Amino acid sequence: MAHDTPTVTRTSAQHEYYKQNNKATMQKQVVNFAIMIFLTLVAFSLVGAGFSANLVLPIILLMAGVQVVLQLYSFMHMEEKTAHEIGVVTMFMWTGMFFAFLMILAFVTIIWWNL
Amino acid sequence: MSSSVKKKGFGATVWDYLTTVDHKKIAVMYLLGGTLFFVIAGLEAVLMRIQLMYPENDFVSAGTFNQLLTMHGTTMLFLAAMPLLFAFMNMIVPLQIGARDVAFPFLNSLGFWLFFLGGLFLHLSFFMGGAPDAGWTSYASLSLYSPGHGVDFYVLGLQVSGAGTLISGINFLVTIINMRAPGMTFMRMPLFTWTTFVTSALILFGFPPLTAGLILLLFDRMFSAKFFDVMYGGNTIIWEHLFWIFGHPEVYILVLPAFGLFSEIIPTFSRKRLFGYSSMVFATILIGFLGFMVWAHHMFTVGLGPTANAIFAVATMAIAVPTGMKVFNWLLTVWGGSIKVTTPMLYALGFIPSFVAGGVTGIMQATAPLDYQLHDSYFIVAHFHYVIVGGIVLGLLGSTHFYWPLFFNRMLNETLGKITFWIFFIGFHMTFFLQHFLGLMGMPRRVFTYMPDQGWDLFNFISTIGAFLMSAGVILLVLNVIITAIKGEPAGNDPWGDTRTLEWAIPQPIPFYNFRQTPLVRGLDPYWIEKQEGNKEGMVYAEPLGDIHMPNNSIVPFVMSLGLFIASFGALYSPLGVADDSRTWAIPVLVIGLVITFGSMIYRSLKDDHGYYVTVAEIEALEEELYGKKGGNK
Ligand code: HEM
Ligand SMILES: [Cu+2]
């Protein structure tokens, strides 16, 4: 039976278009990646500098939140408004985060603080 | 690819199934694997019931009883009910939405093999020093101190098969989002596809907490980490939370597809469209969502405090609202319909009152103060078997009859089917109805025996007789299958005459590419619409006949799973923490297993596999062979 590999042919205009597109995405990703590295460095140096834990902890948590959003929107393609069924994907992401938040809330309140 | 080849040798057939990525063949494998484990777990149940038939019986020892209990619960839930539901999802969902396969056929096969080998691993514990014995919930305060390797088998086996389940769940999500035929909008999807969708979402969010919990338990047992060990500052309650954050969604993972199956059967044999379709969809989503906010109703007696208990009690009762919506919608579908009482319909009609009974006792248990009375008594056993057997098992048995012609192009015997139903149904109520009262009279669950003359003797005896009846029912079903296999006539498409959805419009036997042309869906119940308009072919098409792109078979999923299976033995017998060095052989076993798994992953990543095309000429040749003369428009 036939086992040919399908090949995709593109016109040169299409080719140019994709090339442009890829370049733009690449730039954006490199910038975001740099920001993420920077945030990580800040986090480590805050700890290294020996500031009080009451200051360092909230800042690190905040930056962790920023990192998550950056990760989702820049590397996991959630910013692509026109992407196929992006609404469903976004809905799933936020539902998942809501459940995770609920779990953390429950753990903190009924296991560790013992309300 | 090979369905055009008649009469293959045994070896070739085995190889075909080991490598297949066809959702229909994977469905058959899930059906076989699930049935195997269902029979094993059923046997364990009967052994337990024999032990409990008389007070102070010594048919099995206390230790054996604990193993039977644990393996029965674990196997039924993870290795019987879920795979059997996956069998129907695999078979029906792609056909129902007009797809040629699932989104990731390779992962589909991987999911099956992980489930099967994980289950096999768990069952080998019987021959390798004893099965797990800390209950299917494996509460850490008990499981940490379980001697031998039983609980390690539980942890590793569930980890492997759970990975398979998670993979399959994601696959169905992507399939349903991406692979619907033109015109098959979300609000035209049949209810079984909808419930599969929500169930898959529950798997996606529900299984990771279990995985996390199992990892912690593994570390506690093997490397003496102290996550759950109170003596060293750990907290045993964390396991209970993690387990039930998974565990409650799990019960909806099981029951929602059963709801979906009944929502297909009931309109078909009421010969009326499903009443309140959009409210059914809404109720399904709402049940799925609320399913994540109620887990602590399993822990009312732990001492969470009145505030937490009150919140979780109210949240639990809220689930009764969407569930009630569903029940009323089914009743209103039947009401005024032109009802045909076939075997599947009998199961559906039996399901409604049985499931409602289980739901009502559920609300009773949700009342936290009352639960202090009911907790850990036979009342609980009665409750969950009413929802599980009355909901899921009746759904599975009914759909086995309903969908058998779709799977195998044969009809199961209807008369025998009805007899089976009555025997099973009577046996089911006989077994579990009286257990409510046993619970109220104080009989605790998970006990291997009890003292005579507490008023429990008669009810326990009757309960065991009921279990025998249920076994007889299952044996009759197996006989029915065998008879049909030997004598059955080809059923053709639409054998029930009143089916409504796309899967029934496909000619039988279904060609391996499902649809020669992608169908165009013109509304809810597309097949019904076409039949009403006198379209003999049963569907209209969205594309001209052309070459069809199909995935290649692959042995890699099997090898990948086998690697994890081997590695599990290495992990189980790990020499870490063992005083003598008699177990150093386990390290190479672990390493070899992981090398096999990661090696096949790398192979899969590096080697491009774009699938292949079936040409128009090949399609026409195959169809002529399958159906004789050519048909269809071009
Ligand atoms: C069909 C006939 C069945 C019979 C006769 C039966 C019988 C039993 C018995 C005797 C127990 C032990 C109760 C105790 O001592 O606490 C039990 C527990 C259990 N059964 Fe069944 N059962 C059946 C079907 C099922 C099915 C279909 C499922 C799930 C799909 C299931 C899930 C469970 C679970 C989760 C437990 C609790 C195990 C534990 O406490 O760890 N059973 N069953
Ligand atoms: Cu629950």
Decide if B78 contacts B498 (C-beta within 8 A). Answer: no
* Residue A54, in any domain of the structure: yes
Which of B201, B209, B610 has the CB atom closest to A6's CB atom? B610
Closest listed residue to residue B369, CA positions, set B312, B287, B295: B312
What residue owns the CA closest to ligand 1's atom 3? B45
B386 vs B343, B393, B438, B615, B619, CA distance in Å? Answer: 20, 10, 15, 51, 48
Min distance B241 CA to chain A CA atoms (Å): 8
Decide if B199 contacts B256 (C-beta within 8 A). Answer: yes
- As a whole number of angstroms, the distance between CA B260 and CA B329 comes to 13
* Residues of chain A contacting residue B205, judged by C-beta atoms under 8 Å apart: 95-96, 99
Strands (E), B241-300: none
Does A74 lie in the same domain as A19? yes
Does A44 lie in the same domain as A75? yes
Does A39 lie in the same domain as A70? yes
- As a whole number of angstroms, the distance between CA B511 and CA B101 comes to 12
- As a whole number of angstroms, the distance between CA B260 and CA B282 comes to 13
Helix or strand run (H / E) with residue B153: helix B150-178
- Number of residues in chain A: 115
A5 and B610: CB-CB below 8 Å? yes
Min distance A88 CA to chain B CA atoms (Å): 8
Does A94 lie in the same domain as A59? no
The total number of structural domains that make up chain A = 2
Under DSSP, is residue B533 helix (H, G, I), strand (E, B) or coil? coil
B185/A contact by beta carbon, under 8 A: no
Does A69 lie in the same domain as A38? yes
The predicted pLDDT at position B282 comes to 95
B292/A contact by beta carbon, under 8 A: yes
Does A114 lie in the same domain as A97? yes
* Residues of chain A contacting residue B238, judged by C-beta atoms under 8 Å apart: 107, 111
* Residue A99, in any domain of the structure: yes
Give per-10-residue mean pLDDT for chain B (634 aa).
Answer: 57 90 94 96 96 93 94 96 96 93 93 96 92 93 88 94 95 94 92 96 95 94 88 91 95 95 95 93 95 94 90 94 95 93 95 95 94 94 96 96 93 94 96 95 94 93 96 95 89 88 89 90 91 86 88 93 94 75 84 95 89 88 79 43
The predicted pLDDT at position B630 comes to 53
B612 and A3: CB-CB below 8 Å? yes
Instruction: Supply B263's token pair.
Output: 């929502």
Residue B220: count of CB within 10 angstroms of its CB: 20
What residue owns the CA closest to ligand 1's atom 19? B73
Does A90 lie in the same domain as A71? no
Does A29 lie in the same domain as A67? yes
pTM of the model: 0.90
Strands (E), B306-441: none
* Residue A4, in any domain of the structure: no
The predicted pLDDT at position A57 comes to 87
Under DSSP, is residue B602 helix (H, G, I), strand (E, B) or coil? helix
Instruction: Supply B73's token pair.
Output: 């619960």
Does A65 lie in the same domain as A19? yes
Spacing, Cα B385 to ligand 1 middle (Å):
7
Does A48 lie in the same domain as A65? yes
- Chains A, B: CB pairs < 8 Å: 55
Residue A99: count of CB within 10 angstroms of its CB: 19
Decide if A83 contacts A90 (C-beta within 8 A). Answer: no
* Residue A74, in any domain of the structure: yes
**Where in the sequence is the domain holding A92, given as residue range(s)?**
82-115
Decide if B378 contacts B431 (C-beta within 8 A). Answer: no
Does A88 lie in the same domain as A52? no
Please give the ipTM for the structure prediction: 0.84
Instruction: Supply B339's token pair.
Output: 């009802």
Does A54 lie in the same domain as A33? yes
- For the domain made up of B340-512, give the CATH fold: Cytochrome C Oxidase; Chain A (1.20.210)
Min distance B242 CA to chain A CA atoms (Å): 9
* Residue A5, in any domain of the structure: no
Point out the ligand nearest to the CA of residue B67.
Answer: 1
At A25-42, the pLDDT tens digits run 888 889 988 999 999 999
Backbone φ, ψ for residue B490 (5° rounding): -55, 135
Closest listed residue to residue B221, CA positions, set B124, B141, B135: B141
| Residues having CB within 6 Å of any atom of ligand 1 | B 42, 45, 48-49, 69-70, 72-73, 76-77, 81, 135-137, 381, 385, 388-389, 392-393, 431, 445-446, 467, 470
B552/A contact by beta carbon, under 8 A: yes
Cα of B65 vs its chain's centroid, Å: 25
Instruction: Supply B492's token pair.
Output: 């053709």
CB proximity under 8 Å: A 21-80 to B: none
Residue B302: count of CB within 10 angstroms of its CB: 16
* Residue A3, in any domain of the structure: no
Instruction: Supply B40's token pair.
Output: 């094993």
